[in-house]
Amino acid sequence: MAKSSQKEKSSPQARSGQHEVADRGLSGLIRRGNVFSEKCPSRDIMKNVTSRWGVLLLVALLEGTHRFSELRRKIGGISEKMLAQTLQRLEYDGFVQRTSYPVVPPYVEYRLTPLGRQIGKKVRALGDWIEENVPKILAARESR
Amino acid sequence: MAKSSQKEKSSPQARSGQHEVADRGLSGLIRRGNVFSEKCPSRDIMKNVTSRWGVLLLVALLEGTHRFSELRRKIGGISEKMLAQTLQRLEYDGFVQRTSYPVVPPYVEYRLTPLGRQIGKKVRALGDWIEENVPKILAARESR
DNA sequence: GTAAGTACGTACAAAAAGGTAAGTGCAATG
DNA sequence: CATTGCACTTACCTTTTTGTACGTACTTAC
């Protein structure tokens, strides 16, 4: 427990021009984000998703449900701390679902939610493209 | 002038097991990267592309050629230093092409290369998805 | 004459990300 | 009975990233 650290950013003076949407009064009814504007929540979401380990986790989980230790072994170089932290952020944003069974050696499963599968596919497309083009990029680097 | 700061990373002892490819002797002939393995160059490329400002620059440049200061104004919150640095990395990887005209107020253009346009599209797909789904994600965050 | 715009480079400082090592509680394994 | 694995958490420290502020060289606008 003890992970309820909500950032309260409700300052009295309205947050102006955050995502260029008519703010009709009450809670945030945002129709769409805009990455180009500072302070748009999409920036935050991006950060989690495109973080060093976030990318890899999404791609790994696209292949199916994994246990914590399976992910650790699958993703070369990740530390337990980072694995736990990144999984929690992805869970917080509704991309992964954590299921724990109260058995004696702990058994915890991580799987993508429908939302997570959607974004995971975009990330994998990027990852695949890079993997395929590593030679070209390396060549471009050297020819300077 | 004066921007030839090449990093020489040619250490005598071969870089072993880097991307699980039969290393047939000479320079790096890599067929494909593998993001899951540490030390694969794809990780490095990823880092540049998915960096905070790298993402935004690729998306911005997909809309066409821009000058330095145009980019600075377009991308909310970026500092000149980060703009220059990120552009240089993208140029180094062969994603952007820099053209400068020797006129008196300096005039420099940045545009995507064919390679940059390809990867830019993948990144934009991710960005678009996020922008569209900001409301859902925000909702997921709050419902806990 | 002073300010502003252009496209950066550089030094220093702050912030964020990441790594390491240890601890937890319990059971199966040797 | 000591060790190992499980799924983490925590404290502490190092590395990386990012920001701030200033300098440059020259010209046009005020």
Looking only at the bridges linking them, the beta strands covering B66-67 and B96-101 are unpaired
Look at residue B28 in the predicted model and tell me its pLDDT.
59
Q: Is residue B116 included in any domain, yes or no? A: yes
- What beta strand segments (E) does chain B contain? 66-67, 96-101, 107-112
Task: Say if B64 falls within a structural domain.
Answer: yes
CB atoms within 10 A of CB B45: 24
Residues paired with B97 in a beta bridge: B111
Is residue A130 included in any domain, yes or no? Answer: yes
Other Cβ atoms within 10 Å of A77 Cβ, number: 13
Is the residue at A18 inside a domain?
no
Find residues 18-37 of chain B whose CB sits inside 8 Å of chain A.
19, 28-37
Looking up residue B65, the CATH number of its domain turns out to be: 1.10.10.10
**pLDDT confidence of residue A42:** 94
Which residues in chain B are closer than 8 Å to A16, comparing Cβ atoms?
A: none
- Report whether pLDDT(B22) > 80: no
Q: What is the domain range of residue A128?
A: 41-142
The count of structural domains within chain B is: 1
Q: Which residues in chain A have their CB less than 8 angstroms from residue B3's CB? A: none
User: In terms of pLDDT, which residue wins out, B24 or B137?
Assistant: B137
User: Which single residue is written with the structure tokens 């145009």?
Assistant: B70
The rounded mean pLDDT for chain A is 84
Percent of chain B with pLDDT over 70: 81
Q: Which residue is nearest to nucleotide C9 (CA to C1')?
A: B81
Q: Does B24 reside within a domain?
A: no
Residue B50 forms contact with A (CB below 8 Å) = yes
The verdict on residue B137 lying in a domain is yes
pLDDT digits (tens, 9 = 90+) for A99-134: 999 998 999 999 999 999 999 999 999 999 999 999
**Residue A75: inside a domain:** yes
**CA A40, C1' C6: Å apart?**
29
How high is the pLDDT of residue A26? Answer: 39
Quick one: how far is CA A79 from the chain centroid? 17
Q: How far is the CA of A81 from the C1' of D13 (A)?
A: 15
Q: In what order do the strands lie in the sheet with A96-101?
A: A66-67, A107-112, A96-101
Helix (H/G/I), strand (E/B), else coil: B111: strand
* Neighbouring residues of B59: CB distance < 8 A, sequence distance ≥ 6: A35, B120, B123, B124, B127
Query: What is the structure's pLDDT at A28?
Result: 61
Q: Given A32, A77, A137, which is nearest B131 (Cβ)?
A: A32
Which strand ranges, in their side-by-side order, compose the sheet holding B66-67? Answer: B66-67, B107-112, B96-101
Q: Are strands A107-112 and B66-67 parallel, antiparallel or unpaired?
A: unpaired
pLDDT value at residue B33:
85
Q: What angle do CA B4, B110, B102 make, to 5 degrees?
A: 65
Burial class (CB in 10 A: 0-12, 13-18, 19+), B119: buried
% of chain B residues with pLDDT over 90: 69
Give the CA distances from residue B115 to residues A126, A129, B56, B58, B120, in Å, rounded to whole numbers and listed in that order. Answer: 13, 10, 16, 11, 8
* Residue B7 predicted with pLDDT over 80: no
Q: Is A137 left (phi over 0), alpha (psi -120 to 50) or beta?
A: alpha
- Per-residue pLDDT tens for B87-108? 999 999 999 999 999 898 899 9
pLDDT single digits (tens) A5-29: 333 333 333 333 344 444 444 346 7
The torsion defined by the Cα of B85, B87, B90 and B91, in degrees rounded to 10, comes to: -110
In tens, the pLDDT along B24-77 reads 433 457 788 899 988 889 999 999 999 999 999 999 999 999 999 999 999 999
> Containing H/E element for B50?
none
Widest CA span of chain B, in angstroms? 58
Query: What pLDDT is stored for residue B81 in this prediction?
Result: 96
Q: Is residue A12 part of a domain?
A: no
Interface of A with B in 64-83 (CB under 8 A): 74-77
CB-strand contact A76/D, under 7 Å = no
Distance CA B109, CA B96 (A): 10
